[in-house]
Amino acid sequence: MRRFAVPALAVLALGLPVGARAQTDVGTDHAGGLPWSVAAPQGADWTLVCRFEPVTMEMSRYDTRHWANRLDRAGHGPMTGRLPVDSGYCTLTKTGGPGPVAIGMARHGQTQARGTAQRNSPVSVGFQ
């Protein structure tokens, strides 16, 4: 039995640091990273899908290690928010309504913005 315990512990010890490096713990600061802004001046409907490196966050005192790497929003008109980390990208799709939609992001003095007036024609911006 002793022969099998040592290799099993070695495998576990080698596997733990890899998992720990792959996620950032943001705690209760869910919106401390990259800012995004959707513009829809005439009130168009849209969906937004943002992807970012995996994070763990505290959602409640009972759910202190919630895992996420994606943010989904749907709305109409303008909306702003932040990703939990300082890198990632967002894809905006106009789903209906009058007028164009646009997405913008800024980081360290750099900006990116894309827009569309076409329904179901996604545009993306982001920083890695």
- β-partners of residue 116 are 101
Structural domain spans, the chain? 24-127
Task: Check residues 79 and 4 and name the one with the higher pLDDT.
Answer: 79
Report yes or no: 90 and 82 within 8 Å, Cβ to Cβ: no
- Categorize the per-residue pLDDT at 25 as very low, low, confident or very high, splitting at 50, 70 and 90: low
Q: Are strands 45-57 and 24-27 parallel, antiparallel or unpaired?
A: parallel
* Ranges assigned E (strand) in the chain: 24-27, 35-39, 45-57, 66-76, 79-82, 88-96, 101-107, 110-116, 123-127
Task: Check residues 23 and 29 and name the one with the higher pLDDT.
Answer: 23
The pTM of this model reads 0.74
Q: Name the DSSP letter for residue 77.
A: S
Report yes or no: 40 and 77 within 8 Å, Cβ to Cβ: yes
